[in-house]
Amino acid sequence: MAKTMARGVDLEPIDRLEEKVKLLVAMMGRMRDEQARVTEENLRLAREIEALRARMADTDGVRAELSSMREERDLVRNRVAEMLEQLEGLNL
């Protein structure tokens, strides 16, 4: 009986070590899965950022075109107003 007790005591640290190794392996698997998920999310966000940058560039172009068109509209408005004043001055 003393031999079986001695053997049980000798194997206990190995059993604990085995359990810890199993837990570590499981934790490493979870960490790999999480890293893969985070990497995929980062790639998705990077693509989204690029798409938003492209939209911002388009918006800047549209903003410049709109500003130009407003200036042109004001010029046309002023010219039409001048022509109307000239027509009123003719007293037809």
pLDDT tens for each residue of 6-46: 554 678 889 999 999 999 999 999 999 999 999 999 999 99
pLDDT at 11: 82
Whether the per-residue pLDDT at 91 is higher than 80: the answer is no
Q: Is the pLDDT of residue 2 over 50?
A: no
Amino acid of residue 25: V
Structure tokens at 59: 């918006």
SS3 48: helix
Phi and psi at residue 91, to the nearest 5°: 55, 55
Measured CA angle at 14 (ends 9, 15), to 5 deg: 90
Give the whole-number percent of the chain exceeding pLDDT 90. 78
Q: Which parts of the chain fold into alpha helices (H)?
A: 2-90
